[in-house]
Amino acid sequence: MTRLPREFFARPVLDVTRDLLGAHVSHGGVTVRITETEAYAGDQDPGSHAFRGTTPRTAPMFGPAGVTYVYFTYGMHWMLCLVTGEPGVAEAVLVRAGEVIEGQDIAQARRPGIRERDWCRGPARLAKTLALDGSHTDRDFCRPALGGPPPIELTVTAGIPVDRALVRTGPRVGVSGPGGDGTAYPWRFWIDAEPTVSAYRAGVIRRRGR
């Protein structure tokens, strides 16, 4: 199947985040149908890593559309983001969850003792099932290559588009915002009644003690 072109990703992040539902992401011998995504919008978004500007960690988000941003969190997990929009705006889509549709034997070996619906039910699980880590950040996954970041053997293809009537939106998982519950940013998209979608958890505002 043909890769999604760079032009697909060089659009506003909310459009790409919604349109990635049903697309396929492949790496390490496993293909996953994307069932849940979240948008992050740089300096317009307090929940984004790039809200306060460029750092060595977030530099890939400020690059061109069609490169990866793979980051480490909680001291144990990798997460996969796909950079969107124009260079310098730091927009990206977090691939939150999906269904393994090819390479089930490989996925099972990477996720022993985990039931199939949970292999990619959450961004950390998805990255582990696809065998992604920090060496895969700032890598070009579109063709033709940019001539900048080295390419990666990760592909994103169209899959089967999801009926808009089945697309749901809501607050991002674990991200607080104005009002404390993240509802000001309903930037999570998922397929209704899809069992691989991760469980919702509201963000928590940590307040300093007196």
Q: What is the pLDDT of residues 59-87, one digit of tens each?
A: 999 999 999 999 998 778 999 999 999 99
Q: What is the pLDDT of residues 7-42, one digit of tens each?
A: 999 999 999 999 999 999 999 999 999 999 999 998
Q: Is pLDDT of 148 > 80?
A: no
**Dist. CA 32–CA 128, nearest whole Å:** 12
Q: What is the pTM of this model?
A: 0.90
- Domain locations in the chain? 6-191
- The alpha carbon dihedral of 49, 50, 56, 57 has a sign of positive
CA-nearest of 196, 29, 159, 32 to 105 is: 29
Mean pLDDT of the chain: 89
**Dist. CA 72–CA 112, nearest whole Å:** 22
Domain 6-191, CATH: 3.10.300.10
Residue 203 tokens, joined: 């963000």
Q: Is pLDDT of 149 > 90?
A: no
